[in-house]
Structure 1
Amino acid sequence: MSKDIRVRKGLDLKLKGEADKKIVNASQSSIYAIKPADFHAVVPKLILKEGAAVKAGEPIFYSKYDEKVKFCSPVSGTITEILRGAKRRILEVKITANASNEVVNHGKLDLSNASGEQVKSILLESGCWPFIIQRPYSIVANSEDTPKAIFISAYATAPLAGDPEFILADKKEAFQAGITALSKLTSGKVHLSVGKKSGLKDVSDADVHTVKGTHPAGNVGVQIHKIDPINMGERVWTVGAEDVATIGNLFLTGEYKPERTVALVGTAVKDEDRKYYKTIAGANVKTLVGTVDTDNTRIISGDVLTGDKLSNDQFINFYHNTLTLIPEGNQYAFLGWLPFTRNDVPSNAGTSFSKLFGGKKEVNTNLNGEDRALVVTGEMEEVMPMDIYPLQLIKACMAGDIEKMENLGIYEVAPEDFALIDFTNTSKLEAQEVIRLGLDLMITEVG
C-alpha cells in the first residue's frame, strides 16, 4: 500500500489572523480546571474533595465505567471548588496552584525492554491515558481493549490551527519516546501522518504517511479511512501529536507534565499578540487573552469549525492547542442574501464573489441565514473525502435507525469529520451535533 495520502475533496478556509511562528511563555494561571465534559461519555467519580492538597499527576477522579482510567491534576496546589450543575453533575474541578510544584514521580522506564502491560499501567496511573481516543465513537479508550492500530496526525489543515511541526520542534526526543511507548499497546502498527516537507519522517516504530490535500486532510478520521478503515467490531486509537510528546516525556522523566503550546489566532487578537504560548492544560483563558468584551468578541477553544465557546472565566479544553478570537456576528449586511454581492465572507457557493476571487477573509459568527429545509443539493458530498453518503447518514442519525447508521459508516466518523458540512450546507443544519447524538445512541445500544 502506498504511504502517500492524497485528499481531493474538501475545502480550505483561508482566514485572516494566523499566529506568527514565535513561542513565548504564557502568564502563569493561578487557577486550573479539569472539566469532565472534555472527556465525552466519561462519568466522573471523585477521589478527592474540596480543600484537598494535590500534587501534579495525582488522581482527582476516575471513570465510573472504567475505574482504571484516572484523571489527574495538571499542577500542584489545592482543590478550591468543585462546580456542579443540574442533578449534581460535575462541571469543573478547580485547582489553585501553589509555588512548590510538587510532582508525582512514576520512575523512568526503559522502553526498549518494557512490556505493553508496563506501559499501560503507567499511562493509567499517571493521567496520560485520557490522551488516547478510541474510534469508533471518539471517546476515551477502554483500558481493556487492544487496538488493531494507532493513528497520529502531525498535519493540521483546520482553519488557523496550530502547526504540529512547529509545536514539536523542541520535543522530538519526547515525541519519539511517545511513539515507541504507543507501539507496545497495539497488535498492529502505529501510523504517523505528516506533511510533504515534514521533519518527522525519520521517526522509528511507526509507519509514516505523507498527506496532501485540502481540509479535512489533517483529520485523523480521514487518514484512518485512507490507510486502514474501521470495520464493525474493530477498534483503533488516536493520539494528538503534542500529546504523544507528553506521553514520551512521562517515560523519560517519570513525571506527568501536560504542557500545551497554544496558538492564539483570529482577527480579534492584536497583531503583536498572535503567536504561540506555552502553558499547561486546563489554564484559564485570561492568562492568554486578558479580559475580553464577549458581547462583541467570541472566544473559541479550538478552531472556528469545531471549537467550544468560552467566557472570560473559563478554561481551555484539555485537547485543544488553538485559541481563536473572532468578532461576534451581531451586524448584518443590507440585502446580503443577494448573489454576487459580498466578497468579505468565505463561501463555497458558486454565486459568491468570495469563491471566485479568493483571498484571505475575516470571519465572524454570523450564520448568514436561517434554518431551512434539508434538501438534496450535493453540497455535502463536495467536502466529504470519505467514501460514505453524508446526507443519508445524517438522516439515519436523526431517525435513530441503528441498522442504517451501521450500513452507512457510523463507525468510521467523528463529529469533526462533518465540520465542513456545517459550514457549507445551505440548510444551516448542525451536522456535528447530529453525528454526536448518533454516536451516543450507538454507545448505548451497541457498545
Structure 2
Amino acid sequence: MSKQVKLKKGFDIRLIGKAEKKVGDYQPVKTFAIKPTDFIGMQRPKVLVKEGDTVKAGTPILIDKKLERVMYVAPVSGEIVEIKRGEKRKLLEIKILADGEINFENFEKFTSSEIKSASKESITDKLTASGVWPQIIQRPYGVVANPDDTPRAIFISGFDSHPLAPDYNFTLKGQSNYFQAGIDVLKKLTKGKVYLGLSSDEKSVELASIEGVETTNFSGPHPSGNVGVQIHHVAPINKGEILWTINPYGVVQIGKLFINGIYDASKLVAISGSEAKNPSYAQTYIGSCVDSYVAGNTKSNNFRVISGNVLTGEKINNDGYLGYYQHQLTIIPEGDYYEFLGWMKPTADKLSFHKALGLMSFLFPKKEYTLDSNVRGEPRAFVQTGVFEKVTPMDIYPVYLLKAIMAEDFDEMEELGIYEVVEEDLALCEFVDVSKHPVQQLIRKGIELIQYS
C-alpha cells in the first residue's frame, strides 16, 4: 500500500485562467531557442555550431566545459539563424529556424528486456550523447547532474501544485508505456530506489499503475507538488549525499529515446493566465518562440508574459522563448501602477495569505482571482515572525536561513537546511513576505556560496 503524507502548511494561489483541456488553434512556431541561462550552474558554455549550419533534432549544439560528456542538442531540425550574445559576450540564445517537417538524429533502439540487461555505463553514455541528460537534476544545488555520480535515490513528482499548473493527466495521456520505459532506465542509474510522488486529491490515470517505483501520495496545499518537499517527507537528504530528480516529461523523453531511437522534444504546453483570451494547451517543442501564443490572444495591451508559473517563472518578451524546463506560459496584467493605501481599502477581490485590514479573501476559500505583477510595497527589514513557517511544510526555519545567507554564515546555513532547498521550495515565502525580500535570489546566493566554497 502506498504511503500517505498529509501536508497542512502551504497556500494555494487560486488564479483565473487555467488552461482548458484541449489543444488550441495556434499558428505554427517558426523559431526555437536553447538558452544556457536555463541551466543553473552552467558557467563555461561552448557552442558547437555556427550561424548557417543545418541541424537535426538531436544534433549537439552546446556543451558545458565542466561536464563535456553532457550534450545539449537541437530540439528541432532546421538552420542555426542566430547565436545571440550579451555583455562580455555572454551566450544568451542559440536560435533555430525550424523545418516544416522535423528530421531526427537516429539512436539505437532498445526493447524492454535490453533496457533491463544494459549496464549503467552504456545507459549513461546513451543519455548524455542524445541530449536528454539535462532533464536530470541533482540535489543539493539544483544543477544538472554529473553522470559520473551515483545518487542515493531518484525522485519524481507526478503532479504540479503551482498556480495554473498543467494537468499531467492531460499532458501525459497515452504515454504510460514511455514513462515505464523511462523508469526502467532510471533504475539502472541508482543503487537505491526510484520514488514517485502522486496527488491524493486527484487520481493520476497515467502514472498510478507504473511498476518499479515506491509511490507516496501527498495531499494538501502548494508546495505539496514540489519534489523538494516530497524528498523532505520521504527520505531527507543529508550533507554529503546526492539525490537526483526529474520531472515526468523528462521520464517520458527518456522512454521515447530508448523505444523509438530519437530525441523527441515535443511537448504540450499550458497557455494560461487571466489575460489569455483562450487559455488552452499548445502542441510544440522545447524552446518554442511564444509569439504565436501571445499575438491576438490577450485581453489588453498591458500584460506580462511569464515563461513558467507566477511564482517561479521568468518574465520574457512577447516574442521570447519558453524555458527548457517549462511546461507552462502565463499571461497576467502588468502591475506598473501605484495604488494609494491599496491594502487598507476593504475588498474581497485581492488574494492575500494575511488576514490584513481590508483584505478579506480568507472569507472566500474557493474564489479565483486576477492578480497582476504589482508587489505593492518596497523592501524593508524583516518585520514578522512565524509567517514563513506557515507556508513551508518542511522542518526548517526559513527566516533564520535567509538571515544566515545574508550574513554569509556557512555553518548556520548548513545547520538550517540549505542542502534541502532550491528556489521553488521557498517561493511562497516571497509571495507572503510583507518585507518584499527577493527570497528566491537569496536562496540561490546561499546555494552558490556553499557549492563553490
TM over 0.5: yes
Once the two structures are superposed, the pairs formed by residues 296-311 of structure 1 within 5 Å of their partners are 296-311=302-317
Could you say what secondary structure the match of 1:243 adopts? helix
- Counterpart of 1:17, as a letter, is G
Question: What's the CA shift string for 1:159-178, capped at 9, x where partnerless?
Answer: 10111222111211111111
Pairing partner for 1:426 from 402, 423, 434: 434
> Which segment drifts farther, 136-145 or 110-119?
110-119
- 1:127 aligns with 131
Question: What's the CA shift string for 1:199-225, capped at 9, x where partnerless?
Answer: 222111111111111000000000000
Once the two structures are superposed, the pairs formed by residues 357-368 of structure 1 within 5 Å of their partners are 357-358=364-365, 359-368=367-376
- 1:399 aligns with 407
RMSD: 1.6
Could you say what secondary structure the match of 2:284 adopts? strand
- Counterpart of 1:438, as a letter, is G
- 2:80 aligns with 79
Cα distance in 1 between the residues matched to 2:443 and 2:192: 28
- 2:175 aligns with 171
Aligned length: 442
Deviation at 1:25, TM superposition (A): 6.6
Structure 1 residues 46 and 215, CA gap change in structure 2 (3 angstroms): same
Structure 1 residues 26 and 144, CA gap change in structure 2 (3 angstroms): farther
Are positions 1:326 and 2:326 aligned together?
Answer: no
> Which segment drifts farther, 164-173 or 260-269?
164-173
Pairing partner for 1:413 from 395, 402, 421: 421
- 2:239 aligns with 232
Deviation at 1:24, TM superposition (A): 4.4
- 1:44 aligns with 45
Native 8 Å contact 2:276 2:297 kept in 1: no
Cα distance in 1 between the residues matched to 2:232 and 2:28: 40
> Which segment drifts farther, 63-72 or 371-380?
371-380
Q: What is the TM-score with the length of structure 2 in the denominator?
A: 0.94
Cα distance in 2 between the residues matched to 1:402 and 1:341: 44
Cα distance in 2 between the residues matched to 1:27 and 1:410: 44
Once the two structures are superposed, the pairs formed by residues 309-348 of structure 1 within 5 Å of their partners are 309-338=315-344, 341-348=346-353
- 1:349 aligns with 354
Pairing partner for 2:155 from 137, 148, 151: 151
Native 8 Å contact 1:154 1:165 kept in 2: no
Question: What's the CA shift string for 1:155-196, capped at 9, x where partnerless?
Answer: 111110111222111211111111111111111011111122
Once the two structures are superposed, the pairs formed by residues 17-36 of structure 1 within 5 Å of their partners are 17-24=17-24, 26-36=26-36
Structure 1 residues 94 and 306, CA gap change in structure 2 (3 angstroms): same
Once the two structures are superposed, the pairs formed by residues 111-122 of structure 1 within 5 Å of their partners are 111-122=115-126
- Counterpart of 1:81, as a letter, is E
- Counterpart of 2:216, as a letter, is H
Cα distance in 2 between the residues matched to 1:28 and 1:115: 41
Cα distance in 1 between the residues matched to 2:352 and 2:314: 22
- 2:164 aligns with 160
Question: What's the CA shift string for 1:352-404, capped at 9, x where partnerless?
Answer: 21122331111111112222211342110110101001001101111111111
Question: What's the CA shift string for 1:64-122, capped at 9, x where partnerless?
Answer: 10110110000111111110111111000011112352211111013132222221111
Q: Percent of counterpart pairs with the same letter?
A: 45
Question: What's the CA shift string for 1:323-380, capped at 9, x where partnerless?
Answer: 1000011344443132x61211110111221122331111111112222211342110
- Counterpart of 1:398, as a letter, is M
Could you say what secondary structure the match of 2:444 adopts? helix
Could you say what secondary structure the match of 1:434 adopts? helix
- 1:183 aligns with 187
Q: Which runs of 5+ in 2 are unaligned?
A: none
Could you say what secondary structure the match of 1:252 adopts? helix
Q: What is the TM-score with the length of structure 1 in the denominator?
A: 0.96
Question: What's the CA shift string for 1:120-145, capped at 9, x where partnerless?
Answer: 11110000000001110001001111
- Counterpart of 1:85, as a letter, is G
Deviation at 1:312, TM superposition (A): 1.6
- 1:4 aligns with 4
Are positions 1:268 and 2:275 aligned together?
Answer: yes
- 1:69 aligns with 70
Native 8 Å contact 2:2 2:215 kept in 1: no
Question: What's the CA shift string for 1:221-252, capped at 9, x where partnerless?
Answer: 00000011110111111111112111111111
- Counterpart of 1:108, as a letter, is K
> Which segment drifts farther, 146-155 or 340-349?
340-349
Cα distance in 2 between the residues matched to 1:2 and 1:319: 28
Could you say what secondary structure the match of 1:112 adopts? helix
Could you say what secondary structure the match of 1:23 adopts? coil
- Counterpart of 2:3, as a letter, is K
- 1:284 aligns with 289
- 2:386 aligns with 378
- Counterpart of 1:22, as a letter, is K
Deviation at 1:434, TM superposition (A): 0.3
Deviation at 1:7, TM superposition (A): 1.1
Once the two structures are superposed, the pairs formed by residues 83-94 of structure 1 within 5 Å of their partners are 83-94=84-95
Structure 1 residues 387 and 2, CA gap change in structure 2 (3 angstroms): farther
Question: What's the CA shift string for 1:250-282, capped at 9, x where partnerless?
Answer: 111000011221111111001xx2111111001
